[in-house]
Amino acid sequence: MQAELQRLRADIGRLEQARRALEAQLAGSVAPSAPITTSAELQATLRRFLKQVGLIVQAEKCVIMLYDEETGDLVATSPALGISDEEVAKFRIPATQGISGQVFREMKPVLCHDAMSDPRTVNEMSALLKVRNSITVPLVAERKNAEDMVVERKTIGIFHAYNKRFAEGFGEEDVALLKSLARNAAAVISTAKTYIAVADEKRELEHTFQSMVSGVMVVSGEGKLRLMNAAARQIFGVPRGDRLGGRLQEVIFNSDVEDLVNNALTSGIENIRELSIFTPEERVFQVQTALLRDDDQQVSGVVTTFNDITELRNVERMKTEFVSSVSHELRTPLTSIKGFVRTMLDDSEGYYERDMQREFLGIIDSECDRLVRLISDLLNVSRIESGRSLELSLKRVNLPELIERRVESQRSYTSRHEFVVHCDDGFPELVADEDKVDQILTNLLSNAVKYSPEGGKVTVDARDCGDTVSVSISDEGIGIPPEHLDKVFLRFHRVDSMDTRQAGGTGIGLYLVKHLVDAHRGSMEVTSEVGKGSTFKFTLPKTQPEQEGSTE
Ligand code: ADP
């Protein structure tokens, strides 16, 4: 009775198998009609294939192992049938070992009726996957020529089907079925891998092309715009979705660029030029054309690149202006010094009395101070520029006294300004670099005077804020336009107006002030209204980390 039942089961299994085989034949191969270009498509196709194979040969589990040329291993791949992803991840064996290795090397199927006792199996994996019996066939990819003749044959891996259902084990008819199915699968896998590699490469190139900072566009030999990356689209205001393919002049409206491209196409002249392009604000680009040639060296198009050099040109311009303003700032006090010295030297008759001479010497002295300040500013800028930090020489500083001294010296330069100083009572000493705080105050105070040519009140307000102290210096001068407020601390930046030009300057004062405040781990802010005046406020901590408790 038991034996009868078993035979019946086997018959049903065989019938089922035959029916599925027929179905598979009717359905054609596993090869999909359109080429597979993504890993996801390949996975979906393999999943269908494994399910089909499982039904046709009545296997509980199926897995594909692909040969890894780098390690020389056969590596199980997902998806598999009846095997979890974790088990698949563990399943890799050298192509020299076990039944897998034998099938791979010999390119012949192998049947195994009792996996656990078969000496050829790699037992560990058989136990893990609970393999009772198996059939393994090679995955051989064939390359055919135009006459459909096989010109190359390559084993790309192997295919395992495990644990025959409804019967003791796999038989020869399963081998035949699996061999032909595996041939299809190998063809699909190897073609898909090639397509995926090409598609991946294409995607990578596309991403690189699109994320380039420089604008790039390609124009065909017929003058049609073929490609444009995101940066180029932005330069010429071509929306992302807009299709290309039209003539260049229909898409970008810039005769200089057209001339450059046409010149390359018609005369074969590759060129490099600096062009101003409105994007919509005016920017300077270095535009370069390079010819594209086909295999026969015929010109097939032009690649044009656009590098935005606006900032570079701005810095160059600012540097030139800086050199001329520094020369001016150096010459002014020197002219004055020279004038007064000459006057006294030429005064052989003693025309100028002692008081007058002292006044001249006083002017010479303050002009010398001005020169020393400018030179020390320049030296500090070069220190910062070369990446060296501004070292602090810390000591206890009496800020109200320092403020008073600096205000006094400013008073002596101007009669048009009124100076008002507010200082909190019992103002504490702070630990700082006195010369540098002096430089901060001098720069801010001299700016307050310089940029209020009509005179007015200059107010200094010093406050004790607990862990920090703050000093604000306000004037009633020309003020700063809002769009310049965050730029005045940049090196060489000057607001360009009649008043500032007349005032003279180098554009490094506030840049330095900011760095000197930063070196003390302080902060800096500015508020201003054009025509009403400006307030510069800096805040410094009362102590500095390295020197806490160890100052003079
Ligand atoms: P400089 O005064 O040598 O030009 P600064 O770095 O000290 O350089 O200042 C940068 C620019 O900020 C000045 O050119 C000026 O346009 C503006 N500025 C600075 N201080 C004031 C102020 N108190 N009022 C108005 N504008 C100012």
Cβ atoms within 10 Å of 163's Cβ, excluding its own: 19
- Rounded CA-CA distance 325/331 in Å is 10
Q: Name which residue sits closest to atom 20 of ligand 1, judged by CA.
A: 447
- Which residue in 438, 417, 427, 319 sits closest to 372, CA to CA? 438
Give the position, in ligand 1's atom list, of the atom nearest the Cα of 325. 3
Return the pLDDT at 28.
46
- Rounded CA-CA distance 480/526 in Å is 10
Return the pLDDT at 33.
56
Give CA 478 to chain center in angstroms: 41
Q: How far is the CA of 202 from the centre of ligand 1 (A)?
A: 53
Ligand 1 contact via 511 beta carbon (within 6 Å):
yes
Return the pLDDT at 425.
85
Ligand 1 contact via 287 beta carbon (within 6 Å):
no
Ligand 1 contact via 475 beta carbon (within 6 Å):
yes
- Rounded CA-CA distance 519/357 in Å is 42
Give the position, in ligand 1's atom list, of the atom nearest the Cα of 505. 3
Return the pLDDT at 549.
45
Return the pLDDT at 118.
87
Give the position, in ligand 1's atom list, of the atom nearest the Cα of 507. 8
Q: How far is the CA of 487 from the centre of ligand 1 (A)?
A: 10
Return the pLDDT at 9.
64
Return the pLDDT at 482.
96
Ligand 1 contact via 417 beta carbon (within 6 Å):
no
Return the pLDDT at 432.
96
Q: Which residue has the tokens 């084993």?
A: 155
Return the pLDDT at 108.
94
Return the pLDDT at 14.
60
For 163-221, write each residue's pLDDT tens digit: 999 888 899 989 999 998 898 889 889 888 888 888 889 999 999 999 999 999 999 99
- Rounded CA-CA distance 393/438 in Å is 13
Return the pLDDT at 413.
81
Class of residue 241 by CB neighbours under 10 A (exposed 0-12, middle 13-18, buried 19+): exposed
Ligand 1 contact via 500 beta carbon (within 6 Å):
yes
Ligand 1 contact via 215 beta carbon (within 6 Å):
no
Return the pLDDT at 27.
45
Cβ atoms within 10 Å of 235's Cβ, excluding its own: 24
Residues of the chain with confidence (pLDDT) below 50: 22-23, 25-29, 548-552
Q: Name which residue sits closest to atom 11 of ligand 1, judged by CA.
A: 494
